[in-house]
Amino acid sequence: MVGVTVVSLFLLLITTAANSAVVSFRDGILPNGDFELGPKPSDIKGTEVLNKMAIPNWEVTGFVEYISSGHKQGDMLLVVPAGKFAVRLGNEASIKQRLKVVKGMYYSLTFSAARTCAQDERLNISVAPDSGVIPVQTVYSSSGWDLYAWAFQAESEVAEVVIHNPGQEEDPACGPLIDGVAMRSLYPPRPTNKNILKNGGFEEGPLVLPGATTGVLIPPFIEDDHSPLPGWMVESLKAVKYVDTEHFSIPQGRRAIELVAGKESAIAQVARTVIGKTYVLSFAVGDANNACKGSMVVEAFAGRDTLKVPYESRGTGGFKRASIRFVAVSTRTRVMFYSTFYAMRSDDFSSLCGPVIDDVKLLSVRKP
């Protein structure tokens, strides 16, 4: 007994020493994920970070700038969403942090990013062996800053989170700004006897930071099978927006999806069905109380069947319910939603918006 205890204590000590540079992760903002702790004066020249370990908890590579809110670039005044500081990644620059995670568990990262001077800015976010390239656009909010989500499955007990700018701009200082990096564990839901679809109410999803008045963009994933919105895929070219009850009007529960990019962004899920059986797909269509006004239409697809649901939005919140009855023609039925039209916020003509979808249920029913 005594021998065993001594050995395990010894192992514990070795493990602790080997992981001393790795931070144990709890849901929320990463250690110094808002970059409020900055480099010492000797580790910075102007805005350029000179030493790769200069920003506490992070390791930087390449041309990384430490930017304070109110920093002027040409005639542009840079604002920062979380606290007073952010970083900017120049061509091929990256920031990384090592986190202690649970092997096999799914995690979703949320971070703020803003495009600066380059027209086409992208970020490659990775936790080996997963990676995803996220386009940083300025069509979703007028401040330029948006929250983005990305998910991965931990392959080992340590996750090395890397955010990299693969850009090749002429001006090396043109690159995206990053701030407020946060993470939460995902608990992928299962279908139940009340719903054949997984996560039909969108309650499980990425972390929404307090003060996230713009919602969180769930980018399109062409190659990625780990969705930050468990159960759902984002198809086509543009993102959908994850909205929460703290900042928006939500038809049911605490979370919903805003279809912000017309037919260019669709969410889909494939459900197991029995050929010849009758099913009902029901859902709520509404608006998020974000000044998104006008005549909207959500198109729902269930296998070969489709339904167009018109919704008159006053932009002040509200919703209606709709359903479609169909007979399954396959053992796998694809359920998909998109918005027929584009919409712009009436208080901000540079921000895309759209109808909200929520409480999506699929159930088999007896024939009428």
Ligand X SMILES: *[C@@H]1O[C@H](CO)[C@@H](O)[C@H](O)[C@H]1NC(C)=O
State the Cα–Cα distance between residues 16 and 8, nearest whole angstrom: 12
CB of 271 to ligand X, least distance (A): 31
Residue closer to ligand X, measured from CB, 133 or 270 = 133
Q: Shortest approach of ligand X to residue 115 CB, angstroms? A: 18
CB of 129 to ligand X, least distance (A): 8
Kindly compute the dihedral angle of the four CA atoms of residues 7, 13, 18, 21, in this order, to the nearest 10 degrees.
Answer: 160
Helix (H) or strand (E) holding 241: strand 240-244
Nearer to ligand X, 135 or 318 (CB): 135
CB of 126 to ligand X, least distance (A): 4
Cα separation, 58 vs 33, whole angstroms = 9
Closer to ligand X by Cβ: residue 164 or 241: 164
Report the amino acid identity of residue 9: L
> Which residues of the chain form contacts with ligand X (CB under 6 A)?
124, 126, 131, 133, 164, 166
For the CB of residue 238, give the shortest distance to ligand X in the complex, in Å: 18
d(CA 202, CA 118): 34
- Would you say 31 or 166 has its CB closer to ligand X? 166
Closer to ligand X by Cβ: residue 166 or 191: 166
Closest approach of ligand X to the CB of residue 193, in Å: 41
Residue 119, number of CB atoms within 10 A of its CB: 8
Contact indicator for 116, 177 with CB cutoff of 8 Å: yes
**Which amino acid type is present at position 340?**
T
**Count of Cβ atoms closer than 10 Å to residue 246 Cβ:** 12
Which residue matches tokens 């997963």? 130
Instruction: Kindly state the tokens that stand for 336.
Output: 């998909």
Q: Which residues contact 17 (CB under 8 A, 6 or more apart)?
A: none
Q: In terms of CB distance, is 119 or 168 closer to ligand X?
A: 168
